[in-house]
Structure 1
Amino acid sequence: MQSSVGQALRGAVRSGKDAARKGKRGDVWRGMRLRRVKEAGRKAASCALHSYGEVRQFFLRSPCRSLDRMLFALDGGQGDTMIVSVAWVRMPVAAEAERFRTLVDLDGTGNVSPLAAGLVGAAGVTFTGRYYDSRRDGKLVVVAEAEPLSGRPAPELLDGVAEVLVELPPP
């Protein structure tokens, strides 16, 4: 039987996904009982320059059309803070987007490099891929990763935040 806390989080994730799809970030934060501390975003022309591992090799063979990246520093209260990286990769055709998503979803193949965590006051954070989600919508692939910054954010919350923020439309 799922705990009431787990059920509440699942409900917050469901409603958070709906708000995220509509681009309503404020509703996402409120629904998940988070406070946005800081955010930063950048556009890039080259995915190969902003990726590593096999993912970089993929982009050298199949360049992306555009790359948008954002970082969010979020406060869950009671000293629990987290950082979330979101990358929106637009490929020339849907088949290449599917190949990219298949590759990036495999553990150990690399990823799009997150923006420098220092942009949101979280220098030194390493993204591990533990709290990860991705989605594809035609030519667009979105990748989201969360990591704890301070305190002990629940693993279910970190997973839920990645699951929700992957639904955000490109900035």
Structure 2
Amino acid sequence: MPTETSVRTATAADHAEISRVTVASYRATGYFDPDSTYFDFIADTGDRAAHSELLVAERDGTVVAAVTMIRFGTKYADICREDELEMRMLAVDPETQRTGAGRTLVRAVVEHAESLDGVGKVALTTGGVWKPARALYESEGFAHVPERDWFVPSNGAPLVVYTKEV
């Protein structure tokens, strides 16, 4: 049985572990070309932290998952609107997946969004074929918004958008 998961705001000391977890998580999906430059993008935790907020999930003092929260009009915003908080790059260490760490972070993002003035929804994009991720978001009350779906510019892979009112 896994130990309790705690969530906190990431610090600069967490950047290397966040990068490791994020890249490992995305590689484990098998959805990306192993040589994709996207891995460089998601590994740049320092830049992400300079333009957004990051949360980490820990167990026994070890970072096991991370997520990025983005506001409208900022560098990492993909799909969020002015009244939304965008959740991106939810990543759980492959050794820890399906033990509740991702769910804990999703709930923490929703809770954070509820505390923000002018934010009425949390929005996110996930892969169209990422069934476990989609199941998690749907089980947490997120609804698919098909009119906002889009495609990866580099390879045309389908991306689906979910939102949840807060």
Q: TM-score, with normalisation over the residues of structure 1?
A: 0.30
Q: Which has the larger radius of gyration?
A: 1
Greater relative contact order structure (CA < 8 Å, 6+ sep): 1
